[in-house]
Amino acid sequence: MLYGKNVVLGVSGGIAVYKACEIVSRLKKLGANVDVIMTDHATEFVTPLTFQTLAKSAVVLNPFEPVKEYDINHISLAKKADVFVVAPATANVIAKFAQGIADDMLSTTYLASTAHKIVCPAMNVNMYEDVTTQENMKVLRQRGVEFVDATIGMLACGDVGKGRMAEPIDIVEAIVNYLTPQQDFDGKTVLITSGGTEENIDGVRVIANRSSGKMGKALAEAVADRGGKVLFVHGNTSVPMPKGIAEEYAVKTTNEMLKACEDLKDQADVFIFAAAPADYKLKNPHKNKLKGDEITLEFVKNPDIARTIGKAKDGKISVIFCAETENLAESAKKKLVLKNADLVVANDVSRSDIGFGTDENEATIIDKNGKAVESGKVSKRVLADLILDNILLI
């Protein structure tokens, strides 16, 4: 849900620091990148190592410490953030934010960041209700800062009242609500093919390929997250079914995948052909297991699913993939025309670090007018959202 999103979490001193650990854990499970900035007082409650282990990234402390990595400094973190969250936020740091004081790493980065800010107060009830604190929060709200407000409960000092930090699940919900893309696929039905097909050689052996279905899964979840209805037609995959799909259709052979697509094509507004169907099949598959020192097999061409559907798409949008080991751009442009597609996603499968079976990919997205967008090396979920962004431009 939050793949590719960068959350900077500022942690200030207070007993509620332990809750910030759960915030990091929940964000990581949702796929977010999390950078943690701790004040000196925060480290008295929970060690930086705890946050480093949960976030899988270095915790930032003193702005005047020698920088071990060039991109770990207050300006880089400020620019990196898609959202800047402070939890817990003490009365002291809230006052600093309101007055523009920048005397430590947290307040310095906060002041330098133009990202959306979410502040989660945590303090004694009397401090919370103090006129100065209330005025500082009012100033920040007027500047567009979002508050996940403190709740009423038993406080660390023994008092009962407002000042208890909101629960991590509620804070994460606020982050998700801000970062989740708009429902820009609402009302659209998207047919996605995924995984590899197989063709029988004999009663035991098959022709197959190394497609894992990871790209198709990423696309399906991206469409669902953005409000679209997903018709998911898949062959063999090595990953769990995508979350949020409306309908699932499991197939084995290329012909079965084609039939499923033909049966569903009238329902779809967009076709994304992310599967790796077998290009060839045996002319005469053997029912029993073949034996002998030498075997001669005769193959025939399978139907081209994307081309068949593309010829009869009736103004609907078609997205194809071009996985090649050489002449990538040339092959991609030819397939775009041959299959009457609107977009082609071209990637070099000769590289072991991207493509089949990996979690990352690097692709060029080319439209029928020749415009090309380079993704760079990114997660397949990030690439999926980039593909959807380009579909909306058609």
Q: pLDDT category, 7, cuts 50, 70, 90? A: very high
CB atoms within 10 A of CB 243: 11
Rounded distance, CA 175 to CA 314, Å? Answer: 40
Question: 293 lies in a domain?
Answer: yes
What token pair was written down for 297? Answer: 């097999």
Rounded distance, CA 87 to CA 67, Å? Answer: 25
| The pLDDT of residue 64 | 55
Question: 1 lies in a domain?
Answer: no
**Does the pLDDT of residue 54 top 70, yes or no?**
yes
Rounded distance, CA 223 to CA 186, Å? Answer: 9
Q: What is the CATH number of the domain that holds 254?
A: 3.40.50.10300
201 plus 175 within the same structural domain? no
CB atoms within 10 A of CB 103: 9
CA-CA distances (angstroms) from residue 249 to 60, 157, 207, 289? 47, 58, 21, 29
Question: 208 lies in a domain?
Answer: yes
102 plus 193 within the same structural domain? no
Q: Which domain holds residue 329?
A: 189-391
110 plus 206 within the same structural domain? no
Q: pLDDT category, 355, cuts 50, 70, 90? A: low
Quick one: average pLDDT of 271-286?
A: 95
**Does the pLDDT of residue 251 top 50, yes or no?**
yes
Domain count, the chain: 2
Closest CA to 187 of 223, 222, 220, 217: 223
| The pLDDT of residue 350 | 78
**Does the pLDDT of residue 87 top 90, yes or no?**
yes
Of 16-20, 56-60, 154-158, 274-278, the range with the lowest mean pLDDT is 154-158
Mean pLDDT of the chain: 91
Q: pLDDT category, 270, cuts 50, 70, 90? A: very high
162 plus 213 within the same structural domain? no
Instruction: Read off the pTM.
Output: 0.63
| The pLDDT of residue 73 | 65
Is-contact 361 347, C-beta < 8 A? yes
For residue range 317-349, what is the model confidence (pLDDT) as tens digits?
Answer: 999 999 887 888 889 999 999 999 999 999 887
- β-pair partners for 323: 347
Q: Pick the most confident of 206-210, 236-240, 255-259, 331-335.
A: 255-259
172 plus 193 within the same structural domain? no
164 plus 208 within the same structural domain? no
The continuous run of DSSP H or E covering 262 comes out as helix 254-264
Q: pLDDT category, 354, cuts 50, 70, 90? A: confident
SS3 assignment, position 229: strand
- Select from 150, 179, 208 the last residue of a domain: 179
Q: What angle do CA 293, 207, 277 make, to 5 degrees?
A: 160
Find the helix packing angle between 131-142 and 91-99, rounded to 10°: 50
22 plus 167 within the same structural domain? yes
- β-pair partners for 367: 343
Question: 19 lies in a domain?
Answer: yes
Question: 70 lies in a domain?
Answer: yes
* Catalytic annotation, pick one of 21, 157, 261, 322: 157
| The pLDDT of residue 263 | 98
The string of DSSP codes covering 134-163 is HHHHHHHHHTT-EE---EEEE-TTS-EEEE
Rounded distance, CA 9 to CA 148, Å? Answer: 14
Q: What is the CATH number of the domain that holds 158?
A: 3.40.50.1950
For residue range 117-175, what is the model confidence (pLDDT) as tens digits?
Answer: 999 999 999 999 999 999 999 999 989 899 999 998 777 677 778 989 999 988 998 89
Rounded distance, CA 377 to CA 354, Å? Answer: 8
Active-site annotation holds for 157: yes
| The pLDDT of residue 287 | 87
Q: Pick the most confident of 200-204, 228-232, 346-350.
A: 228-232
215 plus 85 within the same structural domain? no
Question: 43 lies in a domain?
Answer: yes
The continuous run of DSSP H or E covering 78 comes out as helix 74-80
311 plus 174 within the same structural domain? no
- Select from 179, 214, 245 the last residue of a domain: 179
**Does the pLDDT of residue 244 top 80, yes or no?**
yes
| The pLDDT of residue 70 | 46
**Does the pLDDT of residue 71 top 60, yes or no?**
no
164 plus 277 within the same structural domain? no
Question: 316 lies in a domain?
Answer: yes
Q: pLDDT category, 295, cuts 50, 70, 90? A: confident
208 plus 350 within the same structural domain? yes
**Ramachandran bin of 181, using left for φ above 0, alpha for ψ from -120 to 50, beta for the remaining angles:** beta
The string of DSSP codes covering 313-375 is -TT-EEEEEEEESS-HHHHHHHHHHHTT-SEEEEEETT-TTSSTT-SEEEEEEEETT--EEEE
- Select from 127, 148, 179 the last residue of a domain: 179
Is-contact 380 353, C-beta < 8 A? no
247 plus 338 within the same structural domain? yes
- β-pair partners for 373: 365
Question: 184 lies in a domain?
Answer: no
